[in-house]
Chain A
């Protein structure tokens, strides 16, 4: 079990100043390397001594990864841009307020000053059985300690579980999926661009990781196409306390509405499934229709089809339904 010692195990610390230098280190150390961005997820793992990398590659000195700039009609945000920089960026706020709203509600002001967009997207799950070093599925074992009659599973999955019931904790992830964002990943083998929806990996596919990032990979930038720029956005995060807390459930939506009719819409939730979940059935219930309470209710009902609540998180069903309804209504009423 994990023991918090506030003293990290020994590792080699590297502080590259260029992306190429960082990639060289990641390629050299592969599985034994740990990428350090803001450090807010990393230091828990290291201080708890659950993860013991041989090398830590601190990206704090790679200035090229911090830029926020227009690109191809949309916007490109460096993975090392802090959440505060993202939420305060005029470009982001003006055209992609959904992402700005999501970044602005992460944790606390101190954490937003330190935490990065890339780190927030790539962070590991917060399931405490896993984080505490229990030998669960996600840690390479053959059991989920959170999925038992007596387990503390109030914060876990109600949708999409496959053996492991941990949820994705990122606030910016559902916004990015709703905006049809793309992620640029570099490695020694080249560069690939992955749709935000495909960036996240569920336990049905790989139970030991949350994203498609492989050893040697470096998430360098997030691209926002102009598809949803300036749309009507809605972001809401439900949590136990109003600051420094992870979402019990969060919803991000982007809608194109003309004369009260929904031309197109994206509805994405997080905190209820192992990955940010795009609710296509809810989108279909709304698309092409006049916005009213009945349509919103239908979208809410579609969202909770197939839910499998655990012993202590049945409340998430109503929470999810209502969040989706509110997202469709755009927060009115």
Chain B
């Protein structure tokens, strides 16, 4: 399997062209393999852990917690679904032609890319100034707890494990991966817009040297195939029965009090009566 495709420029120099599309298939089947692994893990391993833990328990003293807790504001949900639509369109227009389903894809692809870019910019401003910014980022305490959880999964003494704040570590890891892949595809995608005619600019394929264009295509490719795996696994977790309450919260905005107390530490995700308001 090759990692890169190479070509030669007019001066006979070998230059990077793009990633090898073998990586697309690797990303796809890697995602499928992870899902299958998790299905087995969920069937075989999770019940044992649940029995060992005596089942999930809701925190006592939740009387002050409202019956419905706002998890995602309407603005955050709007961003999520716009981003999801743009991402699906980008994946279809970017990869279907490569796997043999041919159609005029360029215009839909770059328009979806612009939509994704705008939605991400919106998200950055919204999350920075209107949401709890640090709640989604991996902090030192998360790493310590992650090690505790690994030891616990392996059946070793791990001490008391605190419940999560608003977002568990797997959500934070996913967000970090999406952030990195997203920055890669958006940053390079914006530069690649120079290669097509737009309403406001003429195309200029000579903006960068052959080698730099190659690097742009490689970064764009790596980010894109990573999104194949990320999207597959994201959809998988979104439809798993035990995760549906989280998925519903991305549609309707709320989680109920029992779920909140069962999965979250009220001291780390502090809610008030106001949290019932959208």
Contact = CB atoms under 8 A, between A and B. Distances in A.
B7 interface: yes
A205 B105 CA distance: 7
A148 B195 CA distance: 11
Contact of A148 (B12, B103, B205): B205
B196 A163 contact: yes
Contacts of B203: 147
A206 B102 contact: yes
B59 interface: no
Contact of A142 (B8, B104, B206, B217): B217
B102 A201 contact: yes
A162 B197 CA distance: 9
Contacts of B104: 162, 202, 204-205
A77 to B, nearest CB: 28
Interface string B192-204: 0001110000010
Contacts of A163: 106, 195-196
Given A1-B8, A142-B214, A162-B104, 13 more contacts: A135-B8, A135-B17, A140-B17, A141-B17, A142-B17, A142-B18, A142-B217, A143-B210, A144-B205, A162-B106, A163-B196, A201-B102, A202-B104
Find the residue from A135, A140, A142, A206 having the highest chain B CB count within 10 A.
A142
B207 to A, nearest CB: 11
Nearest to A308: B197
Nearest to B107: A204
A205 B103 contact: yes
A145 interface: yes
A134 interface: yes
Contacts of A206: 97, 102
Nearest to B197: A308
A276 to B, nearest CB: 17
29 contacts: A1-B10, A1-B12, A135-B8, A135-B9, A140-B7, A141-B7, A141-B17, A142-B17, A142-B217, A143-B210, A143-B213, A144-B205, A145-B10, A147-B203, A147-B205, A148-B205, A148-B206, A162-B104, A163-B106, A163-B195, A163-B196, A202-B104, A204-B104, A204-B105, A205-B103, A205-B104, A206-B97, A206-B102, A308-B197
A186 to B, nearest CB: 20
Interface residues of B, number: 24
Secondary structure call for the B interface: loop
Interface of B: 5, 7-10, 12, 17-18, 97, 102-106, 195-197, 203, 205-206, 210, 213-214, 217
Interface in A131-152: 134-135, 140-145, 147-148
A323 B105 CA distance: 32
A139 to B, nearest CB: 8
A1 B105 CA distance: 30
A73 to B, nearest CB: 33
Nearest to A150: B206
Contacts of B103: 205
Contacts of B10: 1, 134, 145
A145 B104 CA distance: 21
A148 B10 CA distance: 14
Nearest to A147: B205
A135 B7 contact: yes
Interface in A254-278: none
A23 B194 CA distance: 44
B212 to A, nearest CB: 12
A277 to B, nearest CB: 15
Q: Closest 10 interchain pairs by CB? A: A135-B7, A204-B104, A206-B102, A205-B102, A141-B7, A143-B205, A205-B104, A142-B217, A135-B8, A141-B17
A140 B21 CA distance: 12
Given A142-B217, A147-B205, A204 B7 contact: no
